[in-house]
Structure formats: C-alpha cells, structure tokens
Amino acid sequence: MTTLYDAIGDEAFDRLVAGFYARVRTDDILSPMYPPDDWEGAQWRLKAFLTQYWGGPSTYSEQRGHPRLRMRHMHFPISREAAFRWLELMEASLEDIDEDTIPPAFRAQLRDHWERVAGMLINRAD
C-alpha cells in the first residue's frame, strides 16, 4: 500500500516544515512558546513526527518514544487562538508548495489531521 509519505516524498515534508518554522520565528503568538536555542530541534521533531505519522521512517518513535502529543504540549499555553494560528501557518506553508508536489487530495488529508491535532492540544481558555 502506498502511503501519503511515499506519494509526496521526504522533500515535501522538509519544505512544509521549513516554511512553517520560518513563519513561527516571527509570530507574536507562537514564537514565545519555542526555546530560542532549539529551533532546529523543534523543526526536526515536527518533521519526524509528520513523516512517521504519514508512513515514513519511524525515527521519531525510535528516538523519542511514543508521540504522546497532549503530554508533550501540556506545558505550553495553547489557547484556541494559538491553535488557529498554528493552523494558519501550516496552511500558509502548504500553499507555498505547488499542487504537483502535494496534490489536492493529499492536502485535504493533511488539513484534516492538523485540525484534529490542533483542537486536541488546546489546554487554555482564551
């Protein structure tokens, strides 16, 4: 069975995550949640998680164990506003990538997953 990772490739995930973090670095809501000395680590973790989730290498779990997204994000103040901003920046990064690289059907799958994850991670009232 072909996975989404197989269909779009590692480079598409590189571009997606790099575009996202380029935006996060200057974002007024999300940037303060990231340790300034760990941008590369944060970028690696997101890419490793996404590629593993979508059928790529299991490097994330091999190096960090089970994703446990809620537990790993609990100490960050994630409000609805922060979750929506995360979605906006992921969407903007996705829009930077042409549809030949990530076709519409795969974009819909990515968006659906991101919306579920963003909603699940909200842990603070606005």
Q: Where are the domains of the chain?
A: 9-121
**Distance from C-alpha of 104 to C-alpha of 108, rounded to nearest angstrom:** 6
Which pLDDT belongs to residue 73? 78
Torsion sign (Cα): 59, 70, 88, 32 = negative
Q: What is the CATH number of domain 9-121?
A: 1.10.490.10
Q: What is the pLDDT of residues 67-82, one digit of tens each?
A: 787 778 788 889 999 9
Residues of the chain with pLDDT under 70: none
pTM for the model stands at 0.92
Tokens of 1: 């069975």
